[in-house]
């Protein structure tokens, strides 16, 4: 159906004529009818949008249009876009019922569009799985309609989407549905980071794609370039808004001081100054695109994880009970706070500070008077965050902290320190600590129970005031991103914006700049085009992800051979090759817990290794710094003397056997890093070593061939051995002995090579 544009005269002044009996002014807007929704464009004001069948209309006052969101034929203060946002927000918060405010406090569990048939993103449509329902992929599921209408939920986390167009249409469907309810509060859609690189995809500036592809934030950190991080934020925010996403559950600005932590790859490295500059740039780029301040181009940034999730004891992660503790053996909380208080809370742009923050699951040992997770810790959230550092935005828990858990190694709820409380009691304790919103909760009930607990303790008036304070913060993030005025998307514009060639080019260039050259013996690189290359297949061991997804064992080519063939001649016989190219990943040393150890009489705690060969923790602590859980009958979590095998030891074998097959010919190793690694096991038998944190294969070939000179720097240390890993403090940056290679170079923070040798530019001077 074609759009209908109804135009009105829009004079800037009233023109008088002696022939007219009266003087009149024309309207200050035009109306554009889309297929399902209507847009009202003001010449000096916002564009309004509402669905034609939601019951919402517009009211004209003094030549201007205002949405009648609550359908009462009056312009309430919250509907009046001429008023300051703060005044509108307070007006609406006062109107909401306790149930409606409780609904605002909910942040949905992970939503796949369309919903899957099983797993934690499963959904039904008229009671049937999606593929049996006959529904279009953008349809609302039964569960979504329920939590929108009955639980008053307005904050949704989306994960997988079938396409940008489907995402945009789902947004429009969701917005139309909630617009018909109550006060017409729009849906605030959010996402975890989406702009990852797909290695085997060939870069083509004119092709476009699902979304622009960038290195991880750790990869961008390897460029040591805050301007590049800001550019990423600007571009990603435009793509997010085109998908309907108005809140980013990012950036992850935890200081990566513990090299074994499984979430290391999502950080901005281990240096507090670099991470601070990058955190500020990221949030500025998302919230204040093109330096405009808040508006319909902005994306709320929810920085995580306060007060820094990096110092996990032994590297174990807080998604599980065995990783419930963060420790500070170096008494160094201050470095972990820097990216927040000096970065995300002190923006250069007009939005001033990140609009939301997420505390981590962990119990930060020694912070406050209670050994409870950060989402329940009054000292961490109120005394430190609100009062000392004057943070004004939304505090949203990490996902699932109020749910139950049945075992120390089960991926269930994460109520660390409050396992014995009921679900409602956990909600109340979090509210008392300072929380505004509950991540991963779709159910209104426990929040209302928590409200009643507060009424019983401090009275109805005080508890209502407490709820309204959270409602104001939550509504502010919806208002300031323009959703109240127009939450609807033009789907053709979405498809033109997301993954367009300009954005793809920017992401690809960032990938090139993020690759770090660590070794280049005898100037092995760059290599001439069309040389013959041998690429051994890589063995992938069977595995199970956090979410229970099973990956079977297999062998695979580590690079897209079609892409490689554009640069070199791929051969299968090492004897014919001029050089070998070995693709590996950093050692996968496990999670730090093994149920089999329990079966054999142990405590379950084992080392996390950053080397490929079996590792025995003979230098580990004999007594852990932290411990204690109602799910265990002991406190000491030491793994001293235990041995662990790396899941991808075959990567080391691959380098060794390839070296033997190649004889004196060059062996080039390209290593994708998710954590720092111990290069001592293989470096000496390599001619060149490159590391990256997630790039397309074509970017790697551009560097190997000399079309692009490497410029990346390590945003962390590569350790000499596992002894220095065990002896470093979880909370202290850059306190390991770095590895020194056969060329005499130390793989320390800010080290990298270009074709001339060790890089010693302004970036190195500034941060090293």
- DSSP letters, 270-304, are S-HHHHHHHHHHHHHHHHSGGG--SSTT--EEEEE
Mean pLDDT confidence for 663-672: 97
CA 27 to chain centroid? 44
Q: Band the pLDDT of 204: cuts 50, 70, 90.
A: low
CB 180 within 8 A of CB 54: yes
Token pair of 564 as six digits: 């490689």
The pLDDT, as a whole number, for residue 147 is: 97
- DSSP category for residue 379: I
CB 187 within 8 A of CB 247: no
For each of the domains in the chain, give its residue range(s) and CATH number, in order of start: 4-88 (no CATH), 505-588+648-767 (3.40.50.1700)
Among the residue ranges 6-20, 34-48, 98-112, 203-217, the one predicted with the least confidence is 6-20
CB 219 within 8 A of CB 514: yes
The pLDDT, as a whole number, for residue 20 is: 31
Count other C-beta atoms under 10 Å from residue 18's C-beta. 4
The pLDDT, as a whole number, for residue 209 is: 62
64 CB-near residues (< 8 Å, 6+ apart):
27, 28, 29, 42, 45, 82
18 CB-near residues (< 8 Å, 6+ apart):
none
- DSSP state letters, 160-199: EES-HHHHHHHHHHHHHHHHTSTT-PPPEEEES------T
Determine the length of the chain.
768
- Of 202-206, 288-292, 340-344, the range with the highest mean pLDDT is 340-344
Name which of 330, 322, 331, 326 is nearest 309 in CA terms. Answer: 326
For 293: left if phi > 0, alpha if psi spans -120 to 50, otherwise beta; the answer is: left
Q: Band the pLDDT of 1: cuts 50, 70, 90.
A: very low
Mean pLDDT confidence for 297-311: 97
CB 540 within 8 A of CB 555: yes
Mean pLDDT confidence for 727-733: 98
User: d(Cα 317, Cα 319) in Å, to the nearest integer?
Assistant: 6
CA 582 to chain centroid? 30
The pLDDT, as a whole number, for residue 184 is: 97
User: d(Cα 392, Cα 409) in Å, to the nearest integer?
Assistant: 35
Characterize the bridge pairing of strands 58-61 and 47-51. Answer: unpaired
CA 8 to chain centroid? 44
Count other C-beta atoms under 10 Å from residue 261's C-beta. 27
User: d(Cα 116, Cα 122) in Å, to the nearest integer?
Assistant: 4
Name which of 731, 728, 617, 733 is nearest 326 in CA terms. Answer: 731
CB 478 within 8 A of CB 154: yes
pLDDT higher than 60, residue 301 = yes
User: d(Cα 485, Cα 483) in Å, to the nearest integer?
Assistant: 5
Characterize the bridge pairing of strands 688-692 and 667-672. Answer: parallel
565 CB-near residues (< 8 Å, 6+ apart):
none
Query: CA angle, 208 as apex, 204 and 213 as ends, to 5°?
Result: 80
pLDDT tens, residue by residue, 484-541? 999 999 999 999 999 999 999 999 999 999 999 999 999 999 999 999 999 999 998 8
Buried b / exposed e over 474-494, threshold 16 CB at 10 Å, is: bbbbbbbbbbbbbbbbbbeeb
The pLDDT, as a whole number, for residue 464 is: 98
The torsion of the CA quartet 485, 488, 493, 495, rounded to 10 degrees, works out to: 140
Q: Considering just the CA atoms, what is the radius of gyration of the chain in Å?
A: 28
Phi, psi (degrees; rounded to nearest 5) at 693: -120, 35
Mean pLDDT confidence for 633-658: 97
User: d(Cα 747, Cα 767) in Å, to the nearest integer?
Assistant: 15
pLDDT > 90 fraction of the chain, expressed in percent and rounded? 90
pLDDT higher than 70, residue 189 = yes
CB 352 within 8 A of CB 476: no
515 CB-near residues (< 8 Å, 6+ apart):
222, 690, 691, 692, 695, 699, 700, 703, 710, 712
pLDDT tens, residue by residue, 551-577? 888 999 999 999 999 999 999 999 999
User: d(Cα 513, Cα 522) in Å, to the nearest integer?
Assistant: 23
Provide the β-strand partners of residue 550: 544
Name which of 574, 552, 587 is nearest 679 in CA terms. Answer: 587
Helical (H) or strand (E) element with 582:
strand 579-585
Mean pLDDT confidence for 644-671: 97
The pLDDT, as a whole number, for residue 292 is: 84
User: d(Cα 712, Cα 366) in Å, to the nearest integer?
Assistant: 37
Q: Band the pLDDT of 167: cuts 50, 70, 90.
A: very high
Token pair of 128 as six digits: 């049937």
pLDDT > 70 fraction of the chain, expressed in percent and rounded? 95
Intra-chain end-to-end CA distance of the chain, in Å? 60
- Per the listing, tokens 């003397």 go with 641
User: d(Cα 340, Cα 496) in Å, to the nearest integer?
Assistant: 35
The pLDDT, as a whole number, for residue 9 is: 34
- DSSP state letters, 194-257: -----TTSPP-TTT--SS-----HHHHHTTT-HHHHHHHHHHHHHHHHHHTEEEE---B-----
Q: Band the pLDDT of 120: cuts 50, 70, 90.
A: confident
The pLDDT, as a whole number, for residue 547 is: 62
Helical (H) or strand (E) element with 86:
helix 85-95
Count other C-beta atoms under 10 Å from residue 699's C-beta. 26
Mean pLDDT confidence for 146-161: 96
pLDDT higher than 90, residue 281 = yes
9 CB-near residues (< 8 Å, 6+ apart):
26, 27
The pLDDT, as a whole number, for residue 552 is: 85
Name which of 272, 253, 439 is nearest 353 in CA terms. Answer: 253
Provide the β-strand partners of residue 719: 738
**3-state DSSP assignment of residue 338:** helix
CB 112 within 8 A of CB 119: no
pLDDT tens, residue by residue, 328-363? 999 999 999 999 999 999 999 999 999 999 999 999
CB 520 within 8 A of CB 683: no
- Per the listing, tokens 């064992």 go with 553
pLDDT higher than 60, residue 479 = yes
Q: Band the pLDDT of 293: cuts 50, 70, 90.
A: very high
**Whole-model pTM?**
0.94
CA 347 to chain centroid? 19
- Per the listing, tokens 């509108």 go with 88
Average model confidence (pLDDT) for the chain? 94
The pLDDT, as a whole number, for residue 25 is: 52
Helical (H) or strand (E) element with 12:
none
Helical (H) or strand (E) element with 341:
none
The pLDDT, as a whole number, for residue 647 is: 93
CB 428 within 8 A of CB 453: yes
pLDDT higher than 70, residue 649 = yes
Token pair of 125 as six digits: 């449509």
CB 46 within 8 A of CB 39: no
User: d(Cα 601, Cα 609) in Å, to the nearest integer?
Assistant: 22
Provide the β-strand partners of residue 31: 6, 40
pLDDT tens, residue by residue, 394-452? 999 999 999 999 999 999 999 999 999 999 999 999 999 999 999 999 999 999 999 99
Q: Band the pLDDT of 546: cuts 50, 70, 90.
A: low
Q: Band the pLDDT of 207: cuts 50, 70, 90.
A: very low
User: d(Cα 753, Cα 709) in Å, to the nearest integer?
Assistant: 9
The pLDDT, as a whole number, for residue 98 is: 98
**3-state DSSP assignment of residue 544:** strand
């Amino acid at each position: 159906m074609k759009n209908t544009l109804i135009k009105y005269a829009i004079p800037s002044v009233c023109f008088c004529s002696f022939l007219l009996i009266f003087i009149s002014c024309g309207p200050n807007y035009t109306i554009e009818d889309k297929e399902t929704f209507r847009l009202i464009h003001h010449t000096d004001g916002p564009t309004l949008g509402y669905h034609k069948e939601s019951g919402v209309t517009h009211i004209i006052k003094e030549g201007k249009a205002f949405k009648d969101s609550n359908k009462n034929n009056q312009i309430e203060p919250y509907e009046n876009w001429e008023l300051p946002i703060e005044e509108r927000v307070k007006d609406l918060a006062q109107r909401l019922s306790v149930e409606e405010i409780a609904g605002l406090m909910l942040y949905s569990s992970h939503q796949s569009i369309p919903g899957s048939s099983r797993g934690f993103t499963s959904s039904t449509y008229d009671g049937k799985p999606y593929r049996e329902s006959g529904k279009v992929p953008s349809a609302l599921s039964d569960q979504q309609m329920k939590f929108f209408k009955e639980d008053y939920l307005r904050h949704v986390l989306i994960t997988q989407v079938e396409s940008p167009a489907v995402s945009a249409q789902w947004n429009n469907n969701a917005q139309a549905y909630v617009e018909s309810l109550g006060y017409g509060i729009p849906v605030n859609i959010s996402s975890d980071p989406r702009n990852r690189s797909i290695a085997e995809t060939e870069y083509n500036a004119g092709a476009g794609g699902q979304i622009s592809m960038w290195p991880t934030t750790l990869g961008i950190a390897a460029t040591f370039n805050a301007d590049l991080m800001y550019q990423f934020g600007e571009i990603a925010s435009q793509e997010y808004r085109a998908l309907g996403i108005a809140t980013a559950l990012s950036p992850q600005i935890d200081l990566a001081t513990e090299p074994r932590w499984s979430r290391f790859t999502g950080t901005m490295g281990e240096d507090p100054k670099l991470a601070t500059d990058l955190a500020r740039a990221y949030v500025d780029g998302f919230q204040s695109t093109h330096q405009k301040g808040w508006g319909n181009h902005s994306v709320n940034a929810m920085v995580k994880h306060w007060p820094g999730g990096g110092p996990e004891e032994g590297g174990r992660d807080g998604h599980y009970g065995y990783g419930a503790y963060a420790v500070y053996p170096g008494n160094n909380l201050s470095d972990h706070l820097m990216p927040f208080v000096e970065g995300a809370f002190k923006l250069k742009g007009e939005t001033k500070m990140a609009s939301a923050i997420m505390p981590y699951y962990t119990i930060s040992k020694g912070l406050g008077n209670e050994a409870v997770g950060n989402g329940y810790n009054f000292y961490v959230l109120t005394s430190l965050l609100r009062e000392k550092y004057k943070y004004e935005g939304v505090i949203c828990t990490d996902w699932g902290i109020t749910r139950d858990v049945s075992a120390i190694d089960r991926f269930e709820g994460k109520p660390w320190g409050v396992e014995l409380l009921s679900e409602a009691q956990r909600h109340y304790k979090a509210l008392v600590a300072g929380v505004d919103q509950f991540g991963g909760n779709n159910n209104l009930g426990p929040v209302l129970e928590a409200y009643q607990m507060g009424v019983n303790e401090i009275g109805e008036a005080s508890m209502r005031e407490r709820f309204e304070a959270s409602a104001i913060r939550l509504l502010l993030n919806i208002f300031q991103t323009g959703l109240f005025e127009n939450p609807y998307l033009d789907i053709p514009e979405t498809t033109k914006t997301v993954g367009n060639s300009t954005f793809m080019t920017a992401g690809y260039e960032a990938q090139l700049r993020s690759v770090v050259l660590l070794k280049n013996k005898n100037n092995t690189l760059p290599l001439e085009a069309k040389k013959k290359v041998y690429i051994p297949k890589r063995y992938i061991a069977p595995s199970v992800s956090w979410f229970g997804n099973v990956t079977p064992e297999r062998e695979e080519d580590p690079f897209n051979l079609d892409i490689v063939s554009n640069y070199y001649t791929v051969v299968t016989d090492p004897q014919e090759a001029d050089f070998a190219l070995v693709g590996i990943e950093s050692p996968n040393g496990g999670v730090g817990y093994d149920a089999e150890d329990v079966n054999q009489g142990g405590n379950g705690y084992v080392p996390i290794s950053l080397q490929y060969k079996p590792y025995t923790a003979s230098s580990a602590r004999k007594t852990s710094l932290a411990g204690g859980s109602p799910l265990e009958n002991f406190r000491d979590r030491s793994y001293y003397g235990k041995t662990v095998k790396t899941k991808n030891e075959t990567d080391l074998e691959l380098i060794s056997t390839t070296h033997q097959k190649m004889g004196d010919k060059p062996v080039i190793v390209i290593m994708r890093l998710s954590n720092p690694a111990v290069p001592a096991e293989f470096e000496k038998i390599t001619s060149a070593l490159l590391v990256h944190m997630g790039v397309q294969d074509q970017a790697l070939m551009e560097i190997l061939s000399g079309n692009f000179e490497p410029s990346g720097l390590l945003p962390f240390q590569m350790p000499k051995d596992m002894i220095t890993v065990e002896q470093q403090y979880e909370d202290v940056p850059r306190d390991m002995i770095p590895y020194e290679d056969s060329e005499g170079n130390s793989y320390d923070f800010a080290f990298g090579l270009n074709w001339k040798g060790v890089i010693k530019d302004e970036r190195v001077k500034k941060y090293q």
